[in-house]
């Protein structure tokens, strides 16, 4: 908290946005993220929220990752975390070599039949705020998840390697972390000349290959990809209609809920450590 206070004080023209991870309410947060995490998460949120009152360049939101472990509480997560967030972000757990959770059985999409109604409810309940344009992207991201659950492609070219770049601690340069195929360069071995590396034939081939890939719909890559292809992203507005054959709900433009937390029950239970 002291570091955040110092950074926001010394850089008043820089906008800082901090996102807190909440994957469960009360005991479930402890079960998924470690002992006392619910209590600590709330304490952190309260501290940041108080700091916001005197530091308007600080913005605070929550991200929840929906997995097999917490999917049954997705509606409760949305209700609780929306009022705590300027841009409430939702993600869906997947299993990958990078996360070290392959075969763990936590991937949200592994049970499409139960996943589709959950995402449909999230899409309907998620409010878009004109004061916080990032909420539009979250809504479109949810619609993209819905389209993928229906078995269709989002139609959006992946921007990994073009809009985003993955640089590992060992210097490896990759389009993304989730795809096998490895690095196309190494900044340590190549004199840290990243601009030249990105203009190389290897980099262009890697970016082209990523653009053809539809292996995942991870929000950290999906959202930059939507920004790169805005018209394709807006076409996701029809995802729910195509899937459910029901009338497309109008995107709700509502004022952002007020930041209030006093109604959230604080329950602290000591549980085994886990991750989603």
Query: Would you say 61 and 21 are in contact if contact means Cβ atoms under 8 Å apart?
Result: no
Task: Report how far Cα 163 is from the mean position of its chain's Cα atoms.
Answer: 16
Q: Which CB, 57 or 96, lies closer to ligand SF4?
A: 96
Task: Candidates 49-57, 118-126, 142-150, 173-181: pick the segment binding ligand SF4 (CB under 6 A).
Answer: 173-181
Burial of 222 (0-12, 13-18, 19+ CB in 10 A): buried
We find the least distance from the C-beta atom of residue 218 to ligand SF4, in angstroms, to be 6
Is residue 148 within the footprint of ligand SF4 (CB under 6 A)?
Answer: no
Identify any residues that bridge with 65 across adjacent strands, giving them in sequence order.
Answer: 91
Contact flags string 93-122 toward ligand SF4, x per CB under 6 A: ------------------------------
Q: Report the chain's C-alpha Rg in angstroms.
A: 20
Query: Would you say 73 and 27 are in contact if contact means Cβ atoms under 8 Å apart?
Result: no
C-alpha span between 28 and 21 (Å, rounded): 13
Task: Candidates 53-61, 75-83, 175-183, 234-242: pick the segment binding ligand SF4 (CB under 6 A).
Answer: 175-183
Is residue 175 within the footprint of ligand SF4 (CB under 6 A)?
Answer: yes
Is residue 210 within the footprint of ligand SF4 (CB under 6 A)?
Answer: yes
Task: Candidates 55-63, 81-89, 110-118, 176-184: pick the segment binding ligand SF4 (CB under 6 A).
Answer: 176-184
Q: Which of 136, 160, 173, 243 binds ligand SF4 (CB under 6 A)?
A: 160
C-alpha span between 189 and 51 (Å, rounded): 43
Is residue 178 within the footprint of ligand SF4 (CB under 6 A)?
Answer: yes
Query: Would you say 242 and 204 are in contact if contact means Cβ atoms under 8 Å apart?
Result: no
We find the least distance from the C-beta atom of residue 217 to ligand SF4, in angstroms, to be 7
Q: Which CB, 37 or 65, lies closer to ligand SF4?
A: 65
3-state SS of 21-57 is ECCCCCHHHHHHHCCCHHHHHHHHHHHHHHHHHHCCC
Identify any residues that bridge with 20 across adjacent strands, giving them in sequence order.
Answer: 62
We find the least distance from the C-beta atom of residue 210 to ligand SF4, in angstroms, to be 4
Task: Candidates 105-113, 213-221, 240-248, 267-275: pick the segment binding ligand SF4 (CB under 6 A).
Answer: 213-221
């Amino acid at each position: 908290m002291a570091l955040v206070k110092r950074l926001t004080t010394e850089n008043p023209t820089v906008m800082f946005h901090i996102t807190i991870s909440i994957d469960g309410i009360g005991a479930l947060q402890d079960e998924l993220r470690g002992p006392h995490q619910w209590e600590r998460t709330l304490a952190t949120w309260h501290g940041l929220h108080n700091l916001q009152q005197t530091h308007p360049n600080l913005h605070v939101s929550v991200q929840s990752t929906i997995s097999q472990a917490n999917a049954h509480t997705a509606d409760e997560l949305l209700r609780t975390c929306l009022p705590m967030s300027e841009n409430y972000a939702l993600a869906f757990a997947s299993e990958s070599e990078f996360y070290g959770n392959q075969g763990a059985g936590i991937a949200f999409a592994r049970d499409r039949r139960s996943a589709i109604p959950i995402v449909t409810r999230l899409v309907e309940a998620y409010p878009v705020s004109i004061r916080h344009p990032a909420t539009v992207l979250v809504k479109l991201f949810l619609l993209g998840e819905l389209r993928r659950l229906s078995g269709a492609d989002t139609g959006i070219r992946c921007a990994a390697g073009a809009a985003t770049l993955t640089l590992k601690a060992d210097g490896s340069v990759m389009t993304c972390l989730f795809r096998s195929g490895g690095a196309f360069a190494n900044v340590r071995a190549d004199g840290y000349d990243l601009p030249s590396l990105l203009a190389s034939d290897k980099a262009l081939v890697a970016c082209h290959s990523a653009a053809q890939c539809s292996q995942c719909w991870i929000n950290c890559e999906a959202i930059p990809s939507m920004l790169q292809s805005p018209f394709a992203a807006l076409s996701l507005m029809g995802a729910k209609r195509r899937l459910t054959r029901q009338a497309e709900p109008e995107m709700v433009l509502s004022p952002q809920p007020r930041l209030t937390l006093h109604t959230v029950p604080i329950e602290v239970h000591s549980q085994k450590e886990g991750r989603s």
